[in-house]
């Protein structure tokens, strides 16, 4: 049987994961059947914007892995590792920095936008590390010589940056080491925040995978509903209601009925929220059970990460041998 082609993705460990992340993890799980999949906690990337607040970084790294495993990521089918445990990432980033034009980094679409966004919050992230984060991301990806990277549309510039870097490296050193990774697009429907905006920690409009049942109830009952609906008998407009949007994800078999009853004014917002609370808690119960298992068995979590680190390091060492030979180092 031919070996599977590689694929890689990661997340920054900046805190507990939410329901929106769970949908991504669920998608990652499906990729494991097709690809030799590598998933990593991008802890160095977390420092690019949280360099002044690293006190929870180690805990966050473990928590994010627990969230992955609890949400269905199977360590028997993929490799889970920490970015900072594979020092070759730093070396490849350094060597790539010697050949990358500064203008390539400055033109990344998100760079100036994020500088301005953080400046509005009173934080200056105009650092060397933040300017170079797309290059570190490229090093993370290319280290494993993958054929593809699962991304959303907003991440396309980073994939193209990666592909340009491959072409430049191959041209400069007359080698052919790295495949040009292609974007792997998912068909994941985006879960909105509890206020119907984009789900974001900065908006405080998210539901964590680790939230207990009473917190789920509190967050659901605080969701934005139809502002024009005062009484239960008033005809509702489900399309503007965050609760209705969530019913489509966690109570899909009843969504059409809820829509009809809301529109006719025969179901109240309280009843609708109670149904959603029960459905989300039922969805999260098996995730909570798995989370408790890993929290109570930290040695198993350590073994999973150690195994992932070994697999990642093996590939990283192979890649760096080729890179050093190409650059005559």
- Do both 276 and 307 map to the same domain? no
pLDDT tens track for 96-140 = 999 999 999 999 888 888 888 888 888 999 999 999 999 999 999
Q: What secondary structure letter does DSSP report for 198?
A: B
Order of all β-strands in the sheet with 78-82 = 78-82, 36-41, 6-11, 148-151, 182-185
13 & 105 share domain: yes
Q: How confident is the model at residue 2 (pLDDT cuts 50, 70, 90)?
A: low
Indicate whether 198 belongs to any domain: no
164 and 240 fall within a common domain: no
φ/ψ region of 265 (left if φ > 0, alpha if ψ in -120 to 50, else beta) reads left
Residues of the chain with pLDDT > 90, as a percent, come to 84
Residues 252 and 114 occupy one common structural domain = no
**Shared-domain flag, residues 68 and 143:** yes
What integer pLDDT is reported at residue 24 of this predicted model? 94
Full residue range of the structural domain in which residue 224 is found: 211-290
Candidates 141, 145, 209; CA nearest to 177 is: 145
Residue 200 forms part of a structural domain = no
Residues 6+ apart with CB under 8 A from 82: 40, 41, 43, 61, 305, 309
Asked if residue 245 and residue 100 are part of one domain, the reply reads: no
Contact between 139 and 96 under an 8 Å Cβ cutoff? The reply is: yes
Q: Is residue 199 part of a domain?
A: no
Residue 189 has pLDDT above 90, yes or no: no
In a domain, 202, yes or no: no
Does residue 185 share a domain with residue 228?
Answer: no
Residue 65 confidence (pLDDT):
98
Residues 157 and 27 reside in one and the same domain? yes
Give the DSSP H/E element, type plus range, for residue 176.
none
List the CATH number of the domain containing 263: 1.10.240.10
């Amino acid at each position: 049987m031919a070996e599977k082609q590689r694929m890689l993705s990661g997340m920054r460990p900046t805190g507990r994961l939410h329901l929106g992340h769970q949908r991504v993890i669920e998608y990652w799980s499906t990729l494991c059947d097709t690809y030799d999949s590598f998933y990593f906690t991008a802890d160095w990337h977390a420092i690019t914007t949280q360099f002044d607040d690293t006190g929870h970084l180690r805990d966050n790294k473990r928590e994010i892995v627990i969230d992955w495993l609890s949400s269905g990521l199977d360590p028997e089918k993929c490799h889970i590792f920490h970015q900072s445990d594979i020092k070759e990432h730093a070396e490849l980033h350094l060597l790539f920095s010697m050949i990358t034009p500064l203008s390539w980094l400055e033109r990344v679409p998100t760079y100036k936008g994020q500088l301005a966004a953080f400046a509005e919050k009173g934080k200056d992230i105009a650092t060397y590390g933040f300017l170079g984060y797309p290059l570190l991301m490229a090093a993370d990806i290319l280290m494993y010589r993958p054929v593809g990277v699962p991304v959303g549309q907003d991440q396309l510039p980073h994939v193209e940056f990666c592909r340009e870097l491959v072409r430049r490296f191959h041209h400069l050193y007359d080698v052919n080491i790295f495949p040009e990774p292609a974007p792997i697009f998912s068909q994941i429907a985006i879960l909105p925040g509890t206020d119907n905006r984009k789900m974001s920690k900065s908006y405080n409009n998210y539901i964590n995978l680790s939230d207990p049942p009473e917190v789920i109830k509190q967050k659901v009952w605080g969701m934005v509903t139809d502002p024009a609906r005062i009484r239960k008998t008033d005809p509702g407009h489900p399309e503007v209601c965050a609760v209705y949007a969530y019913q489509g994800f966690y109570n899909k078999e009843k969504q059409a009925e809820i829509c009809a009853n809301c529109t006719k004014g025969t179901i109240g917002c309280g009843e609708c929220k109670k149904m959603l609370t029960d459905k989300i808690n039922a969805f999260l119960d098996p995730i909570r059970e798995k989370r408790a298992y890993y929290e109570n068995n930290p040695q198993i979590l350590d073994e999973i990460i150690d195994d992932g680190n070994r697999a990642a390091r093996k590939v990283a060492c192979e890649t760096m041998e080729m890179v050093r030979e190409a650059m005559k180092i």
